[in-house]
Structure 1
Amino acid sequence: MIIASTPADAEAAETIRNHHAELAGHLSALTDAMLAATERGTAFGPDPGADFDAARKAAVDFLTEILLPHATAEEARLYPAAARADRARPLIESMIAVHRTIADLTDQIRTETSPVRAAAAGRAAQVLFEAHLADENDRVLPIVAADPLVSLADIADDELLGRHAVDARACNCDPDAEEPVLDVRPIPHPIRHATVFGALEAVPAGASMVLVAPHDPVPLLHQLRDRTSGRISVEYLERGPEAWRLRLTRI
């Protein structure tokens, strides 16, 4: 929980955290698609073919059109507010450095001739981004939200709040390709649903993902049906007691 100076700032902080979770889930699904296409290519020949090309394009489009513009907005609006606190300046410098590294990895994904190396760069970007978000959620946002001289609600624009559609960046991959698996059990509960939202948005129509949850996710399923206008089917693969596994298919 983030302690904020006003209710509006608390709401803005929570919205940004949820958007971060959606971004992480989306990138995870796209990275899994690249890795799966690479593994299929390795098994059946040296060239993963069009399926990998589609997965790579979806990942690059998402990184360049959604994730990196979000990073730019952070540097323009969020980070200067955090850097008002002297203790936060080294942290902010390191956060900006991570943005540059993710941009470099994006270029590597785009230009690498080896599918294996491109997929590895994608996984590296995903892992780095998830660690980066932990610092942002747990260290940067609380500094800004708690500052009575700064209004997080005022400085947070649509880019920071995630008020744009990302489902157009779904992978145009083979719907029969290997299903990505999202295990939400280690994900903090407050951002768990948002992570699933982002991951499902990366799944193309007609394809599926497998969700692993610590309990029967009935409230989440209601939210998913609302978000997709009912264009989702659910199949239970396992019903506890330690894990619930569900196949979510976009219709």
Structure 2
Amino acid sequence: MSVLTLASDPQDATALEGAEAHHARLAGALAGRVKMLLTAVDRDPSAAGKLHAGLVAFCDRSLLPHAAAEESALYPTAHRMPEARLLIEGLIGEHRCLTALVDTLRAAPVPADAAADARALQVLFEEHVAKENGLVLPLLAMAPEVSLAGLLTDMHHRLADDTRTRGAGEGHHTEEGHDMREDQVEEAGGCGGVCGCGGAEEAAEPELDVREVPHALRHATVFGALDAVPVGTAMVLVAPHDPLPLLAQIEQRNPGAFSVEYLERGPEAWRLRLSHR
């Protein structure tokens, strides 16, 4: 069934597609960061420490504000619909579980202790957005008395205000703000064992294998992983084909930020080192 069939008007159909795409970007970004952390825990504890801190920061700046904005702007309207009331209460409970998992990640003394909770966070978030995409958003889009487009506009205004408030004190962009700008597009020094400076073996570089990642999340997963790669370090990407469209999007997203070196060119896998300049 198409979103045009589900939505009560074309604006809500477009809003539904946009919300699903935004969820895919968040889920992909989270998956990329978690995968990088899990890989680094096995290969290089020093790199894992940075990735652990980056994952917590991503959750604080993107995942948790997104959940809070949903509760403020989206959930109250859905909760007034009898067929959605229990579902919304369950989703609010999942928000509390997401927050608790992030707090557990934050308190983990070493990255190895955080690995299981990071994976649990990823699984819960993917299941959570699947319920929103498959149940909550279509219910709102089908209701003639509800403007899903208006609700989502309010939600993104809340996110933008939150981003500006935090950004004024941090002096750099947040992942959520960066992701919101991507809605208009198409879809750190010292070696530490993961850089491309020649001071470490390639095997120590975090590796992201996207061959088993669902296609809808694949590019967002790579973007999330790249966001976790500090300047002066690198990661190895394993893809099922030559990822030329992805490389073009990486360059469009961060012009000149990453250099690309092919390590293997098929036929079953393409391996590329992406170095953050």
- With normalisation by structure 1, the TM-score equals 0.79
Stretches of structure 2 that go unaligned for 5 or more consecutive residues are: 164-172, 178-187, 196-203
1-side partners of 2:148 and 2:275: how far apart? 37
* 1:12 and 2:38 are equivalent in the alignment: no
Equivalent of residue 91 in structure 1, options 87, 91, 103:
87
> Match for 2:135 among 139, 153, 157?
139
Structure-2 residue corresponding to 1:219 = 245
- Partner residue, 1:45: none
Give me the whole-angstrom Cα distance separating, in 1, the residues matched to 2:234 and 2:135. Answer: 35
Distance change (3 Å), C-alpha of 1:94 and 1:212: farther
- The answer to whether the 8 A contact 1:29-1:203 is kept is no
Pairwise CA distance, 1:24: 1.9
Displacement of 1:214:
4.1
- Secondary structure of 1:148 counterpart: coil
* Aligned partner letter, 1:17: E
Q: CA deviation at 1:66?
A: 1.4
* CA gap 1:203/1:139 in 2 versus in 1, 3 angstroms: farther
Q: Is the 8 A contact 1:24 1:198 kept in 2?
A: no
1:92-112: per-residue Cα shift (whole Å, max 9, x none)?
222111111111111111113
- Pair 182,22 (structure 1): closer, same or farther in 2 beyond 3 Å: farther
Distance in 1, Cα, partners of 2:176 & 2:72: 26
Q: For 1:57-96, list aligned pairs within 5 A.
A: 57-96=53-92
Q: Deviations over 1:78-135 (max 9, x none)?
A: 2223334322222222211111111111111111335432222112111211221222
What is residue 29 of structure 2 aligned with on the other side? Answer: 26
- Corresponding position of 2:3: 2
Q: CA RMSD in A?
A: 3.1
**Counterpart of 2:3 in 1: which secondary structure?**
coil
1:203 maps to what in 2? Answer: 229
Structure 1: distance between partners of 2:266 and 2:85: 46
Preserved contact between residue 259 and residue 275 of structure 2 (Cα < 8 Å)? yes
Deviations, residues 9-47 of structure 1 (Å, cap 9, x unaligned) = 233222222222222222223323433443246xxxxxx
Say whether the 8 Å CA contact 2:32–2:223 is kept in structure 1.
no
Q: Give CA deviations for 1:160-203 in whole Å, capped at 9, x if unaligned.
A: 4876643599xx594425324141554144x5433433332232
Go from structure 1 to structure 2 and tell me whether the alpha carbon gap of 1:28 and 1:114 turns closer, same or farther (over 3 Å shift). same
User: Which shows bigger deviation, 174-183 or 138-147?
Assistant: 174-183
How far apart are the structure 2 equivalents of 1:9 and 1:200? 32
Q: 2: CA distance between counterparts of 1:31 and 1:22?
A: 14
1:234 aligns with 2:268: no
Give the counterpart of 2:220 among 183, 194, 209. 194
1:93-112 aligned at under 5 Å gives the runs 93-112=89-108
Q: Output one character per residue of 1:52-95: Cα deviation in whole Å (capped at 9) or x when no partner.
A: 44222212111122110100111112222333432222222221
Aligned AA for 1:234?
V
Select which of 160, 174, 181 maps to 1:166.
Answer: 174
Aligned to 1:179: 206
Aligned residues: 242
Alpha-carbon offset, residue 144 of structure 1: 1.7
Normalised to the residue count of structure 2, the TM-score between the two structures is: 0.73
